Every structure is written in C-alpha cells, then in structure tokens.
C-alpha cells in the first residue's frame, strides 16, 4: 500500500541548532516528492519539491532535502533553525502511476526555543 | 485570482445531519483533492479527481461523497454526519501531477 512515514512526531530545538526531519515512502513508480510547512492556523505551504535531476533540492527559507532512491527517503534539513521555523512539517509523495494520488505523512511538529 | 476557495469556514452539525462542503478553484486545474486533517494524523486523502466527470477514492472515503461536474467545482458531501467526522477539511488543486498543491483555507467542522 502507498504510505509516507515521518519518524519524528515532535522535535524541540534551540535556535541555531541544525534540523533533520526524516521521511520514508512506499509508492510505486517514478515519484514526485514534496515538503510542506503549516504555521498555526494556516493552510499548508510548499517548502520544496523534487521531480527529477539533482537529488539535493533547495527550497525557501534555507531548507533543503535529499532524495535517496535506494532508501526511499526524502529527508528535510536546515543548518540553523530560527524561532520563526516553529511549525508543523509534512512530507508528501505522488506518482503518475498512482493517478497523481498525493499521500501525506503524519507530520512533524517542530518547536524552536528562542 | 482567488486560487482555491472553500466555504464555509466553520460549521457545527448535529449527528445525522447532512451538508456539503464547497470547493472552487479559478486556476483551471485538472486535479482536485479533499483531505481531512486530524491532530497527529497528518492529512488523509478522502477523494480526488483528475478531471471533470472523474473521481476516485482516497485513503478514507467512507461516509463521504463527491462529484466533479465542472473543472472549477469539487464539492464534498456528508450524508449522515457522525462525531468521527469532526475535523478540519482542506481542498487542494494542481494543474498536473508533478506540481505542488494549492490549498484552500480549510473548513473546520464539528459534529455534536
């Protein structure tokens, strides 16, 4: 079955700490991968996406993610977090072989201490 | 350009009542999606559509129905509301599969 697994449900970091959020997926075919962020009371916004090419993709606000096909992973990273990064982060995947049915992970709630 | 518009923003229903959550997009997107978001559960796909007249079940379709008579509209119908359907519902659209989703602002639904 198609699924997306995010390993950390809650993460607490101090400002300037480095961040890595794990994402693994189970989805047949050639996949498209996404990371979204949701600030309190708002809808999801795109951080970055991977379709093809360079497996290291850079997004907005200093975030990046690396696609490792052999591990079915798409982990999100940021070298130095800020208080304003406090939010919930969602990994998502779809594929043209799945009719572009987009599946989301359960989310990781990040709290950054000032 | 309004993007994806959802109405209503909030609603309280009694058990057994029915209602329709509206979703409209003005971007001429082919693909549209309905999700529900529950705390700690992420977004669960209810139904999706790849174009007018075509709909398909997602991960959690039970208790819901959809239709897609036009490219712009993708309403979600709850026929017999149950407390388990208390959630925040998001509609989203994309022009084709390899694009990020445009989300509406959500509908917060409580069933008492």
What would the mean pLDDT of A68-74 be, rounded to a whole number?
94
Rounded CA separation A69/B106 (Å)? 33
From the centroid of its chain, how far is CA B52? 15
Rounded CA separation A37/A70 (Å)? 26
Q: For B7-36, how does the pLDDT look when each residue is reduced to its tens digit (9 = 90+)?
A: 999 999 999 999 999 999 999 999 999 999
What would the mean pLDDT of A99-107 be, rounded to a whole number?
87
Per-residue pLDDT for A75 more than 80?
yes
Per-residue pLDDT for A86 more than 90?
yes
CB pairs under 8 A between A and B: 63
In chain B, which residue's Cα lies nearest the Cα of A31? B98
User: Which of B42, B51, B56 should one mutate to test binding to chain A, selecting the residue with the greatest count of A CBs within 10 A?
Assistant: B42
> Measured between beta carbons, which residues in chain B are less than 8 angstroms from residue A34?
100-101
In chain B, which residue's Cα lies nearest the Cα of A104? B43
Output the pLDDT for position A30.
85
Q: Does A96 touch chain B (CB under 8 A)?
A: yes
Pairing of strands B102-103, B4-7: unpaired
Q: For B39-74, how does the pLDDT look when each residue is reduced to its tens digit (9 = 90+)?
A: 878 899 999 999 999 999 999 999 999 999 999 999
Q: Residue B84 corresponds to which tokens in the numbers above?
A: 């388990």
Q: Residue A51 corresponds to which tokens in the numbers above?
A: 């379709």
Look at B44 and A104 and tell me if their CB atoms are within 8 Å: yes
What would the mean pLDDT of A50-62 be, rounded to a whole number?
93
Output the pLDDT for position B98.
73
Could you give the percent of chain A with pLDDT greater than 90? 74
DSSP chain B: ---EEEE-SEEEE-TT--EEEEEEESS--SEEEEEEEETTTEEEEEEEEEETTEEEE-S--TTEEE--SSSSB--EEESS--GGG-EEEEEEEESSTTSPPEE---EEEEE-
Output the pLDDT for position B1.
62
Output the pLDDT for position A13.
97
Rounded CA separation A34/B101 (Å)? 9
Per-residue pLDDT for A68 more than 80?
yes
- Residue written as token pair 């979703």: B23
């Amino acid at each position: 079955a198609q699924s997306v697994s995010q390993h950390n449900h809650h993460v607490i970091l101090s400002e300037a700490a480095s961040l890595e959020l794990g994402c693994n997926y189970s989805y047949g075919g050639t996949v498209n991968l996404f990371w979204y962020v949701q600030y309190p009371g708002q809808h999801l916004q795109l951080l970055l996406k991977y379709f093809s090419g360079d497996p290291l993709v850079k997004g907005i606000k200093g975030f990046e993610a690396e696609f490792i096909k052999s591990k079915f992973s798409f982990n999100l990273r940021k070298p130095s977090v800020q208080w304003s990064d406090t939010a919930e982060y969602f990994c998502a995947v779809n594929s043209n072989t799945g009719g572009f049915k987009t599946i989301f992970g359960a989310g990781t709630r990040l709290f950054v201490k000032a | 350009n309004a993007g994806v518009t959802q109405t209503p923003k909030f609603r309280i229903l009694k058990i057994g009542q029915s209602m329709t959550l509206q979703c409209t997009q003005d971007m001429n997107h082919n693909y549209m999606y309905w999700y529900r978001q529950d705390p700690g559960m992420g977004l669960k796909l209810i139904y999706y559509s790849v174009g007018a007249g075509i709909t398909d079940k997602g991960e959690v379709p039970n208790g819901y129905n959809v239709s897609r008579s036009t490219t712009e509209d993708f309403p979600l119908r709850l026929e017999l509301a149950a407390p388990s359907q208390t959630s925040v519902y998001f509609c989203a659209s994309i022009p084709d599969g390899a694009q990020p989703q445009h989300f509406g602002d959500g509908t917060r639904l409580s069933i008492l």
